[in-house]
Amino acid sequence: MDKLNILIIGAGIGGLTAGIALGRRGHRVDIVEKEATGAVYGVGIIQQSNVVRAMHSLGILQDYLGSGFGFDHVDVFSPGGQHLASVPSHKLVQDCPANVGISRIALHDILQRRAREAGASIRFGLTVTDLRDDATGVGVSFTDGTEARYDIVIGADGLHSAVRQWLFADAPQPQFTGQGVWRYNFKRPAEVVSLHAYAGPIGMGLVPLSDELMYLYITTPEPGNPRYATAGLAAAMRDKLKHAPPVIATLAAQITDDAAVVYRPLAWLLLQRAWHKGRIVLLGDAVHATTPHLGQGAGMAIEDAIVLAEELSLAGNPEQAFTVYRNRRFERCRYIVEHSKAIGDSQLGLLPPVDQAKATADMFRVVAEPL
């Protein structure tokens, strides 16, 4: 199918990447995002080997490399800080690092700019109030009172997707895992030149983002799914690090800015049915939200966007494209969701301990396989 008129709901990583991939194939793309500014929280993200390959295929890898920090392996440490293993990543693009750590602000800036260069319109502070699929197109009503018509609509609106609810009112809801993740930025010391992952019941790690910056993450048990007010977040995060290994513990005193702490409860979702209905389709966290234990949430959304764009160009109609897209993506996404959750469950004592080095090596092998 050529030159489709496409609406993408959600200007997160998956939605913006879809805008790039579809725009490059000649489709007309509108992206709407309910948040007024499109601002993202200012910590970082790991872009692993499969994402490096994906960005190369979209022609934007040099943007990533210029704004992030490349590395080729993951260093795994014991809960006490002993170095256990260096796990090499598969290098999927010649003469490029296997992985890239990058700040979310820099990543979104790149994706927004590149989506616009590919021809996409991006409007913030706007979302959808109604979708009407009549089999020949989708009528859309927006929150500003306007209406439009599209050939297809893509729901890239995240874990609590309104589009998923419209399509499948009986779909399972996201499930809280019993854990939360805390993140904070620091000045990067010279020795942190890879992801440093610490095993144990409190998962934690250091991720380089640039020559100057890294971030610390910790995954903690959060019984009852408590909500934390912004005031006091820094003290709460410091408290979570009371029994951290020395390298991590020395950072705790620097956690002083409540507003710079990013905390979120962890949830998962895997939609085991079709990912579309008629001319409306879902991608990313809207259908396969994962916990961050394997660092692949963004990677799966990026791959979704590329595969969906490929199948829309190859198929004779949207239903065919959406079916093949879901079939190509399901097993890889299932693997990431289930194995990430298993690591979290092991940290909570619900499953036997997971060998973090083996789990990381297995994940690198899986995501290195072709899309």
In tens digits, the chain (371 residues) has pLDDT values of 999 999 999 999 999 999 999 999 999 999 999 999 877 877 999 999 999 999 999 999 999 999 999 999 999 999 999 999 999 999 999 999 999 999 999 999 999 999 999 999 999 999 999 999 999 999 999 999 999 999 999 999 999 999 999 999 999 999 999 999 999 999 999 999 999 999 999 999 999 999 999 999 999 999 999 999 999 999 999 999 999 999 999 999 999 999 999 999 999 999 999 999 999 999 999 999 999 999 999 999 999 999 999 999 999 999 999 999 999 999 999 999 999 999 999 999 999 999 989 999 999 999 999 99
Q: 26 CB contacts (<8 Å, ≥6 apart)?
A: 2, 3
Q: Where are the domains of the chain?
A: 5-43+62-69+100-173+268-349
- Give the sheet arrangement for strand 69-71, strand by strand: 44-47, 99-103, 69-71
How far is Cα 117 from Cα 240, in angstroms, rounded to an integer?
43
Residue given tokens 């970082």 in the structure block: 44
pLDDT number for residue 100 = 96
**Rounded CA separation 329/308 (Å):** 9
Cα–Cα distance measured from residue 232 to residue 102, given in angstroms and rounded to the nearest whole number: 27
pLDDT of residue 90: 92
Q: Rounded CA gap, 276 and 230, in Å?
A: 38
Which pLDDT score is estimated for 181?
97
Tokens in use for 16? Answer: 């913006």
Would you state the pLDDT for residue 37?
83
Q: Residue 80: which region, alpha, beta or left (left: phi > 0; alpha: psi -120 to 50)?
A: alpha
> 267 and 159 in contact (C-beta within 8 Å)?
yes
Instruction: Answer for the pair 43, 27: CB distance below 8 angstroms, yes or no.
Output: no
φ/ψ of 111, rounded to 5, equals -65, -40
From 295, 109, 108, 101, select the one nearest 212 (Cα to Cα): 101
Task: Specify the CATH number of the domain 5-43+62-69+100-173+268-349.
Answer: 3.50.50.60
| Alpha helices (H) in the chain, listed in sequence order | 13-24, 49-58, 61-67, 104-117, 162-167, 233-240, 246-252, 285-288, 297-314, 318-347, 356-368
- The position carrying tokens 């030149």 is 193
